[in-house]
Amino acid sequence: MLGKVKFYSSLILARAAYLGIKMLNKSSGTSFVGMMTLKICPDFLSHCVKYVKKGIVTVTGTNGKSTTSGLVAHMLKVANQRVIHNLKGANMLTGVANVFALNVYPLKRFDYAVIESDEAYLTKLYDYMQSDYLIVTNLFRDQLDRYGELNTTAEYIKNAIDKNKQLKLILNADDPIVATFNRTDYAVYYGFENVEYDCSYEHDSHAPSEAFNCPCGEALEYEKRFFAHQGHYFCKKCGYKRHKCDYSGKVKVFNDFSELTVTHNGIDFNFRVNLAGLYNAYNALAAIAYAFENGLNQEEIQRALDTYKSIFGRTEKRTINGHSTIIQLIKNPTGASEVLKTVDLNSNIVIAINDNYADGRDISWLWDSDFEQLKDAKRKVITSGIRANDMATRLKYAGIPQEKILIEHNIRKAIDIATSSSDMTEKVTILPSYTALLKINKEKF
């Protein structure tokens, strides 16, 4: 009884706190309310489970969590399901509690919960909220000061899976670490058989790739490598190789969309994905696999892909001061390098880098990211944020002439400079780290 009192009290106080935050315009309110809610009712999320009738799906991995979970949530909504989803990407316990605290009502029920989870917090989430499905996108080096090396991050996810033995897994077969997570009775795999490009940008990357050993200890080799360590790997010594895919993809990547063929149970399904880059084709393939697993049909999935709007900062398209603008989050070497391939070199470019806790204090990843892709930029490249000077130095060593590099620490001013031209045909590209993205999202342009 006391638990219920705390739960309902936390709901009332959460809404009051959120109204206060919005009236004072103090923050985006994606975590503070959840932090307060968990202080009042530590097992708040356990109480929330009864408000979800059909299923809970969690999405984790280094890159693509927000887009994949956004696509899954939108596909379910298109299929007329009621969905609760941490849309704004706050993916630690406080962020998940935040979205439930602001959307749960005593007589209201949801069909599905779609929860993006930080890799390190997934095991904590499963202490309170068991999931029906887990989608794992990939594992790349990310925030060494918070996560350590990839084996540490992998252990976080494995420990979470071990807490939830009834979990159904949807795993990226092309990632040699993710493919080893089949620790429950049910796992399906997705991956690409072939990748083609028909686009103006250079699709090869010079960013460093991880080297992995087979469980037998021998170094893995590749028949095909699509980017970083994603591809068709095998071991010469013991015969271990990439898992056969239940959802097998072929993709042709264009400048700002992809054509995707997914083969499942011997049947081909064709889709158009209106998102740029191979990395987004992977996100779409993961979401399509989940949709088919849960009974959605090709028409519903394509309708969702056609009407999906990017989550803020993930290939987000906005008009700022009259200029067409694309905002792309960058936060680690592989993700940044894939984004950098797609940058319009004729656009005005702003790169805003912070080193707050949520970004990761260690910015050595800037030197592992393929900023050489910007060496032929036609206009000025403006660096901004707390580490604007470090970013400018990195661009200098990437081969960008110093006269093209402008430093403006204030992010708002940097964007104003990039969008100051009276020629409204000039486009703008903004590449922010996570907390820089949050600041941009708060600004009213």
3-class DSSP state for residue 168? strand
268 is catalytic: no
CB neighbours of 152 closer than 8 A, spacing ≥ 6?
A: none
State the Cα–Cα distance between residues 253 and 273, nearest whole angstrom. Answer: 9
Contact 210, 228 (CB under 8 A): yes
For 261, the 3-state DSSP assignment is strand
If we measure between CA atoms, which residue out of 338, 342, 66, 331 comes closest to residue 227? 338
Residues with Cβ within 8 Å of 176's Cβ and at least 6 positions away in sequence, in order, are 212, 220, 229, 233, 242
Q: H helices then E strands: how many in the chain?
A: 15, 17
Question: 439: buried, middle or exposed (CB in 10 Å: 19+, 13-18, 0-12)?
Answer: middle
Q: In whole angstroms, how far apart are CA 143 and each of 72, 151, 330, 331?
A: 26, 13, 12, 8
- Partnered with residue 348 across adjacent β-strands are 428
**From CA 30, how far away is CA 88, in angstroms rounded?**
7
Q: Which of 162, 198, 362, 376 is catalytic?
A: 362
- What sign for the dihedral angle of Cα 14, 19, 20, 25? positive
Nearest one of 231, 232, 229, 181 to 60, comparing CA atoms? 181
**DSSP three-state, residue 213:** strand
Strand partners for 172: 190
Active site residues: 362
